Amino acid sequence: MEEILTSAAEGVAEDTVAESSAQTAEAAEAVPMKKKRKPINQQKLQDNLWGWIFCLPLIIGTVWFVYSAFVMALMLSFSNYDMSQGKTLGDVLAHLADNVFTQQIQPKDPITGLPDYTQSAIVTYEPFHWYVKAFTYQQQTNAGALHEMGCYLFNTVFYMIGIPIGMILSMFFAVCMSRDIKGGNVFRVLYYIPCVASTISVVYTFKIMFDTAGVINQLLGSNLQWMNAASGLRWQDVFNMETASGQFLTNPYWCQGLISKLVVVIMSVWKGLGGTIILYVAGLSGVNMATKEAAQIDGANGWQIFWKVTMPDLYPTIFYNIVTSVIGGMQIYMEPVLLFGEHINTSGYVSLVYEYGLHGQAVESSGKNPSAGAAYGMILAVMIFVLTLFQFWLDSRKKD
């Protein structure tokens, strides 16, 4: 009997120990285990620190000279800051509401319709004055009134004709240079030389080539005044028309202006060809050779291989060239000004920012008016931003 009781007691004790062990295990599982701290990699920490130290000047410069300047220019475009006022830019931005463009309108007598000076003038505030002026102002020329911003913007778009021309030519030369031919590296260097040449020297060379007595006119057997953007040459004179009507035939902007702008297009294509060729050559080196060999085995000819195999692999390079070329083309300034000076027939849109903001051409101002230049600059920034978004939207549709 005692043995039975002893064995029963031992069984109960074992069950109790098992239950307590199970409860302890459940409690341990319920309590989250502390994550072990990873040891700090001193070398990686030091590398990151030095990386941030080297990037810090660029970050500070970008924030101060780009983003801060952009915000200040945006605020300035809604004001009427004139350098002849004797105010600093900080004063204008601090009291922006007091420097908004104002216009006084004198009430008119309801009977006579003449200004009634017995009543006080009504002051209206127009923060969008410079934006309205940009889209409405017409510049008076000898051939009549021309919409100023429209002409400068058309000049910029006309110069961008060189982008597709340059891309097609550079693609052709890059494909030729990527083949296993003798002297391929020599041709790459020769085509890249214009990219490293001074813009002043290139402009001077083209001025001599396109002079009235230059080599281009001698080859064409003509006496066109390529370099005289202010010439009054009209299509009416070119076609010996005694009488003509319409802006295209009678306005020099559409004749002499187009002829002079062709020089800028030719020069831009020639000067930028080498850089684009190098990018395409690098892109062609990354084309999948196994896919090309498989296409050749399947009987595809060279043209089919180029469009079906090479072009898809080259698309990232093409997209990069298009985006950067469009942004650079919208900001063209130096080449037309060096060739022809500031002129409505040839100057790009950026010239408006300079003329109004730094050269003192604003109608309502007796001197330099940064507010007007800032407004024209903001319009340009919006146009570039929209064009870039549109290109990325097209790129996303292609990937889908």
CA distance 274 to 194: 7
**Do 81 and 226 belong together in one domain?**
no
Structure tokens at 147: 């919409």
Distance of alpha carbon 329 from alpha carbon 391, whole angstroms:
15
User: How many domains is the chain built from?
Assistant: 2
Cα–Cα dist 219/216, whole Å: 5
Check which CATH number belongs to the domain holding 306 and give it: 1.10.3720.10
Q: Are residues 165 and 314 in the same domain?
A: yes
Indicate whether 206 and 292 sit together in one domain.
yes
Residues 195, 94 share a domain: no
Whether 90 and 190 map to the same domain: the answer is no
Residue 371 falls within a domain, yes or no? no
The answer to whether residue 217 sits within a structural domain is yes
238 in the same domain as 320: yes
340, 206: one domain: yes
The answer to whether residue 120 sits within a structural domain is yes
Q: Containing domain of residue 200, as a range? A: 160-348
Are 327 and 193 in a shared domain? Answer: yes
Are 229 and 341 in a shared domain? Answer: yes
Whether 154 maps to a domain, the answer reads no
Domain boundary among 348, 374, 392: 348
208 and 78 part of one domain: no
Return the SS3 of 400.
coil
Provide the 10 A C-beta neighbour count for residue 143.
Answer: 14
Q: Is residue 67 part of a domain?
A: yes
Residues 122 and 164 in one domain: no
pLDDT tens for the chain, 400 residues long, are 555 545 545 554 555 555 555 555 555 555 555 556 666 677 788 888 898 999 999 999 999 888 988 988 888 888 887 776 667 777 777 767 667 776 666 677 777 767 766 666 665 667 888 898 889 888 877 767 888 899 999 999 999 999 999 999 999 988 888 777 777 778 888 888 888 888 899 999 999 999 988 899 999 888 888 888 888 888 877 777 777 777 777 888 888 889 999 999 999 999 999 889 988 988 888 887 888 888 888 888 878 888 888 888 888 899 999 999 999 999 999 999 999 988 888 999 999 998 888 876 555 544 577 888 899 999 999 999 999 999 999 888 876 6
